[in-house]
């Protein structure tokens, strides 16, 4: 058995689906290339990765870590303690698992894990999804070997010689959406006589989008539109009362996203980087409602990169009450506009991002492991 068949790989990323699913996509591609490789995920205790990663078939260890609050809060007082404890735990994990490479996709847990790995000379790579990096990845950028990004201009935050533009990983089951339309309609019990709107507020949910959908349920009826409404874990108890078999389905989370995308005729979504990347591949008419509550307003910037190419619509939260019904009705009533948006957004898809990132991981493995056998991690 060759060394190439027995790689040990740690992936760390979480907190939101935008960090978790890219990590799982990278792991799946690595597993395809190296079927006998051993994988371990490292996440933050009590965050959604502790549930979603095992569902994807991978082992995960948790660190007692959380982020620094942007406002002065009591939670920040515990951060130094959590960081020290997490660094100690990360060292134990690395020493025990003996990884050949460590990959971070952002989130609280990736900080301590990548810090330990880089300090011990283990090949390391981070994947930054956004146009404006988070604190964790900005700190790690000086220490890791490679930085895979999805936007131009990231040399403002990272060493230029480490940057590789790859795009964001997407789930491979999204590449054949067009062949799953009937299956998707059946899975979600959608009436063929009605159009289907898919509402995505992010894995945890969006308060403002949920308020909008609740307000517009009767309006959707007048547009002959049925709704698949992913309201988020935090809001499910509030909105599950609207769940019905006729025109509205309310879900805390969608485990078969490929079929949900396939069933949809229109999509309303936040504009997180991973969501934008997926929606480009899916190729359905999209209305972005970016969250204004993120650093540097990067969701609006993500969305505008698509809107400026006549590939999606954007409505700011402050304009929803005035503009939403009119703009949605215009979209539903214009097959020409629907076709234009669908055609243009597909042109922006970077479908090889996952493979390109894994190519960089493989280069790291070959560079570090072919020269000489790495010393045992202490």
Tens-digit pLDDT string for the chain (378 aa): 344 558 999 999 877 777 888 899 999 999 999 999 999 999 888 788 888 899 989 999 877 766 555 555 666 556 666 667 777 888 999 999 999 999 999 887 888 899 999 999 999 999 998 877 877 888 899 999 999 998 778 999 999 999 999 999 887 789 899 999 999 999 999 999 999 999 998 777 899 999 999 999 999 999 999 999 999 989 999 999 999 877 999 999 998 999 999 999 999 999 988 899 999 999 999 999 999 887 668 899 889 989 999 999 999 999 999 999 999 999 999 999 999 999 999 998 888 999 999 999 999 998 866 554 444 444
Contacts of residue 39, Cβ cutoff 8 Å, sequence gap at least 6: 9, 10, 11, 27, 30, 31, 58, 59
Segments in the chain forming alpha helices (H): 17-33, 49-55, 75-97, 110-119, 135-140, 181-187, 207-222, 236-239, 257-263, 273-282, 298-307, 320-332, 335-347, 353-371
Tell which residue, 233, 248, 232, has the closest CA to residue 197: 248
CATH of domain 3-170+352-371: 3.40.50.2000
Q: Where are the domains of the chain?
A: 3-170+352-371, 173-347
Provide the pLDDT for residue 338.
Answer: 97
- DSSP β-ladder status, 163-165 and 195-200: unpaired
Report residue 200 as tokens. 């995505």
Provide the pLDDT for residue 250.
Answer: 96
Rounded Cα–Cα distance for residues 152 and 111 (Å): 23
Provide the pLDDT for residue 180.
Answer: 96
Phi, psi of 102 (to 5 degrees): -130, 135
The answer to whether the 3-170+352-371 and 173-347 domains have the same CATH topology is: yes
Provide the pLDDT for residue 225.
Answer: 97
CATH class entry, domain 173-347? alpha beta
CA angle 233, 234, 238 (to 5 degrees): 100
Provide the pLDDT for residue 1.
Answer: 37
The helices-and-strands tally (H runs, E runs) of the chain is: 14, 13
Q: Are 101 and 365 in contact (CB under 8 A)?
A: yes
Provide the pLDDT for residue 295.
Answer: 65
């Amino acid at each position: 058995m060759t060394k190439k068949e027995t790689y040990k790989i740690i992936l760390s990323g979480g907190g939101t689906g935008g960090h978790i699913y890219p990590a799982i996509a990278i792991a799946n591609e690595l597993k395809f290339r190296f079927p006998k490789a051993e994988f371990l995920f490292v996440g933050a205790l009590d965050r959604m990765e502790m549930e979603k990663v095992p569902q994807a078939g991978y082992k995960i260890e948790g660190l007692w870590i959380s982020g620094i609050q942007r406002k002065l809060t009591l939670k920040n007082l515990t951060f130094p303690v959590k960081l020290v404890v997490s660094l100690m735990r990360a060292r134990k994990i690395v020493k025990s698992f003996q990884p050949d490479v460590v990959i971070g996709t952002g989130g609280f847990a990736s900080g301590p894990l990548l810090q330990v790995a880089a300090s011990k000379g283990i090949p390391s790579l981070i994947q930054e999804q956004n146009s404006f990096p988070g604190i964790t990845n900005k700190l790690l950028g000086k220490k890791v070997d490679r930085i895979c990004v999805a936007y131009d201009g990231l040399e403002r935050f990272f060493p230029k010689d480490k940057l590789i533009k790859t795009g964001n990983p997407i789930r491979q089951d999204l590449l054949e959406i067009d062949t799953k339309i009937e299956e998707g309609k059946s899975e979600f019990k959608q009436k063929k006589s009605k159009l289907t709107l898919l509402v995505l507020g992010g894995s945890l949910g969006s308060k403002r989008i949920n308020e909008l959908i609740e307000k517009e349920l009767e309006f959707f009826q007048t547009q002959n539109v049925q709704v698949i409404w992913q309201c988020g874990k935090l809001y499910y108890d509030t909105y599950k009362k609207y769940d019905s078999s006729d025109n509205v389905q309310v879900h805390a989370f969608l485990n078969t996203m490929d079929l949900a995308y396939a069933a949809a005729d229109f999509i309303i979504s936040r504009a997180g980087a991973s969501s934008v990347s997926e929606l480009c591949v899916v190729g359905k008419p999209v209305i972005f409602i970016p969250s204004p509550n993120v650093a540097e307003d990067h969701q609006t910037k993500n969305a505008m990169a698509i809107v400026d190419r006549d590939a999606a619509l954007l409505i700011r939260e402050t304009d929803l009450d005035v503009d939403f019904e009119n703009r949605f009705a215009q979209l539903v009533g214009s097959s020409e506009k629907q076709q234009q948006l669908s055609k243009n957004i597909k042109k922006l898809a970077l479908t090889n991002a996952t493979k390109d990132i894994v190519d960089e991981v493989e280069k790291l493995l070959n560079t570090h492991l072919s020269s000489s056998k790495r010393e045992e991690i202490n």
